[in-house]
Each structure stands twice: as structure tokens, then as C-alpha cells.
Structure 1
Amino acid sequence: MSLSEERRIGRHAVLLVLNSEEDMLHKLNWKSAIGKVGSMESNKVVAAIETAAKRNKIINSDVYREAHALYHAIMEALHGVTRGQVQLGSVQRTVGLKFAILRGNPYENEVEGEWIAVALYGTIGAPVRGSEHEAIGLGINHI
């Protein structure tokens, strides 16, 4: 099993959320979507990312394992943004995030199957303008 640097799905998700690298994704034949979400409720962040994944046909919402894999990737990314405490409004925090979702096979051997990555980048802080700081999170799960 080999995981070449060119096929590291997490790296590409972070680069996509920070910048656009659509040429490489097209070459790898991966599905992707980017979007933005701001909220004081973590369930709204999850819903925005799930909706984008469904609208862009990154996951098939009729297949449970695909939605389940996406959910776990989102939660892992949120853990990074929220420093392990996936709470927002209940502890007087809000986020303004850009997100990227990628689906593809990060391995050269196709038998390894597809994976999904969710990258989040933006700000988190008190719900007062100027009281936030940057944060980033990444979640990767197999489908």
C-alpha cells in the first residue's frame, strides 16, 4: 500500500479550503465542493456541509455508509476548529468558516476504495466582532 504525496487527500482538502487547486483534483478525478458557513450552533455547520455534499453529488444520500462517513469527517474537522469541545453558542462562541469537501481514492491501488475529507478554515471566538481568532480543522474517513 502506498500513499504518495500527490494523492494525500487531507493535504488537498486543506489546500482547497485555503486556495483553489481544481486542476490537480480534476487530474485525480476526485469530487469536490467548497462553501461557507457561519453560526453559533454546531448542528448548522454540520447541516451546511452535508447539504453541500448532497447537492454536489459527493455523497449519495440514499447510501447510509456514505452519509455516515461524511458525518464522522465533519465531526473530526470540528474537533480541530473547536479544540476538542464541539460546542459553540452554549459557551458563547461563534464560527465563520470556509469548508472544502473531497471524495476520492488517495491510494494508487484502486482496491483501497474511496475516502472523504472535510477541511474547515476560518475564525472562532466570542460573538463580538474583533474577538475571534483563526482556526483550522481536518477530518478524513473511509467510505
Structure 2
Amino acid sequence: MVQNLAIGKIAILLASLTEDELKQIKLPLEKFSYCQGRVGSMNMQKVISAVETAAKRNALINEGYYRETHSLYHAIMEGINGVTRGQAAIGEMSRTVGLRFAVVRGKPYDHPEEGEWIAVAFYGTIGAPVKGSEHETVGLGINHI
């Protein structure tokens, strides 16, 4: 079992490892809630919506609380910034993405007063919308709730 992993590292592992690879290691997930998903698009809004929908469907955020949705949005945008290397645009720049993602929520610190945090990690490919023109990419966003 891998011990004492930070919330961001857990999110990156959940997004980047296949199911078979994840079975080979035991992540310390007992203090976290999480979900995983996939999205491929040339439309940035579809990427954002896929993550938001997964987080809501898996009860990681309460959409009735603005601050939870707001926190998730900022974590998504920070993660997208990593995926797109600081140019948060996909289709407008003739790029497409094929991504796996993970959303992780919990209290990653020893003191409960530090509150809850949310991490969004992306792993996949980005490139010209021509098969074989893509390369790997990764992004991580973390925000407090």
C-alpha cells in the first residue's frame, strides 16, 4: 500500500493509470471521495461540463452550494491550463483533446480545521485534429472548498 499521498498525487494517479494498473497498487482512498471519467472534444465547454457532471452525479459537490461549484470550476480551469500549456483554448486553436480525468475531494491535512479541498487531474492527449498528430499531456488543479 502506498501511504500518505497528497490529494493532487492521488488525482493524477487516478486519471493516468488504467484500471489494471490501479489494481496493482493500493491507494489510501479511505479519507477521500472521488470519481473518474473520460472526455474527448475540440470544445472547451464540453470538457468542463463532463467534469462538472461527473462530480455532481457522484455527489462530490452539492450544486446547491455556490462555493462548491465555484471551487470545482477553478480546479478544472487550473487543470485545463496545464493540459493546454497556459493557453486555455482547444478548438479555437485547431486542437483536440482525448482525456481521462479524476476529481478527488477530502481533508488532506492532519488538522480538520484546514477544511476540505478538491483536486481535478487530467491525463491524455492533445494535438491537431488529425489522427497521430497528438502527444501526451497532463494537468492538475487544486482548490479549497
| Aligned residue pair count | 137
Per the TM alignment, residue 44 of structure 1 is displaced from its structure 2 partner at its CA by 0.5
TM-score normalised by length of structure 2? 0.91
Amino acid at match of 2:6: R
* Structure 1, unaligned runs of 5 or more: none
Whichever structure has more helix as a proportion of its residues is 1
Structure 1 residues 33-77: Cα deviation after superposition (integer angstroms, max 9, x where no partner): 000000001111000000000000000000000000000000000
Whole-angstrom CA distance in 2 between matches of 1:61 and 1:90: 29
In structure 2, runs of 5+ residues without a counterpart are none
Q: Partner residue of 1:118?
A: 120
Q: Which runs of 4+ in 1 moved over 4 A?
A: none
Name the SS for the 1:54 alignment partner. Answer: helix
Q: Deviations for 1:87-115, whole angstroms, at most 9, x for unmatched residues?
A: 11111000000000000011011111000
C-alpha distance in structure 2 between counterparts of 1:45 and 1:37, whole Å? 6
- 1:31 paired residue among 30, 33, 38: 33
Name the counterpart of 2:12.
Answer: 14
- Normalising by structure 1, we get a TM-score of 0.92
Contact 2:16 2:122 (8 Å CA) reproduced: no
- Give the corresponding residue for 1:140: 142
Residue identity over aligned pairs, in percent, reads 58
Q: Paired residue for 2:50, among 24, 48, 51?
A: 48
Q: Is the 8 A contact 1:14 1:138 kept in 2?
A: yes
